[in-house]
Amino acid sequence: MKKLAVVEDEDFMREELSDLLRRAGYEVSEIRDFENAAEALLDLSPDLILLDLNLPGAGGFHICREIKQKSSIPVLVLTSRDQLRDELHALDLGADEFLTKPCRKERLLARISNVLKRYEGRSNLLEGPGYLLDRISYTLYIHDTSVILPKNQGKLLETFLLHGKEVVPKEELCLALWGTTEFVDENALQVNLTRLKKTMAELSMCQQLMPVRGTGYRLVACGEMSTKRI
């Protein structure tokens, strides 16, 4: 059963929409804390988000931006705002569909179904800022092109993406590369990290690897990179 999240501040509209979706066979979660909506949605990780724009606090545009910067969760904007500039802005932020209220239920359900179909088969993809990594083939999709990473570089990047902003211990990186933490020369790990770092620079990725003294490494935005070097 597909899981949908409804982000709507009007109680009657939210309940009516949730009831419609449940009767259509979806599992539905309702978001009512709009200040922390993006964080809650990322933790919930639904198959699709139905998002209103006229929300108290952060607002729908901000939530859409936060979601799309950090995940590949599809977003369907459902709003009473019918200005073209609002639609274009939402789509520019990464929204997958834009519908105005009131909307016929048949149209809404059809759009939901179409978006979900477009995202089928993307479970193997990990998302970074401006790129996607296929966990099976280690194909990197970036700048409207695709690059197949060497196996070890793919394993390392996959491990970093699974940890988000967290530090990845050296032992875990060794485990990802060789399936063991025993009898592994740390120089071999350094060589593989240096190769990944070079590839990321060549592809103009907006992230870099940063060493954390005595612990491991983590991915950071280029602007956050310290003077330390791998």
Tell which residue, 225, 229, 209, has the closest CA to residue 217: 209
pLDDT (0 to 100) of residue 222: 80
Burial status of residue 38 (CB atoms within 10 A of its CB: 0-12, 13-18, 19 or more):
buried
pTM score? 0.60
pLDDT (0 to 100) of residue 125: 81
Q: Which fold has domain 125-224?
A: Arc Repressor Mutant, subunit A (1.10.10)
pLDDT (0 to 100) of residue 31: 93
pLDDT (0 to 100) of residue 30: 96
Query: Under CATH, to which class is 3-119 assigned?
Result: alpha beta
Which residues lie closer than 8 Å to 184 by C-beta, 6 or more apart? 174, 178
Question: Position 43: which residue type?
Answer: D
Tell which residue, 56, 47, 45, 48, has the closest CA to residue 78: 48
Can you give the pLDDT of all 230 residues of the chain as single tens digits? 999 999 999 999 999 999 999 999 999 999 998 988 999 998 998 999 999 999 988 799 999 988 887 777 899 999 998 899 999 999 988 899 999 998 999 999 999 999 998 887 666 788 888 888 988 889 898 887 889 999 999 999 999 998 888 999 999 999 999 988 776 678 999 999 999 999 999 999 989 999 999 889 999 988 765 444 44
pLDDT (0 to 100) of residue 193: 96
Count the alpha carbons within 13 Å of 128 in the hemisphere toward its beta carbon.
26
Domain boundaries, the chain: 3-119, 125-224
pLDDT (0 to 100) of residue 121: 63
Tokens encoding 155:
């394993």
Tokens encoding 207:
């992230």
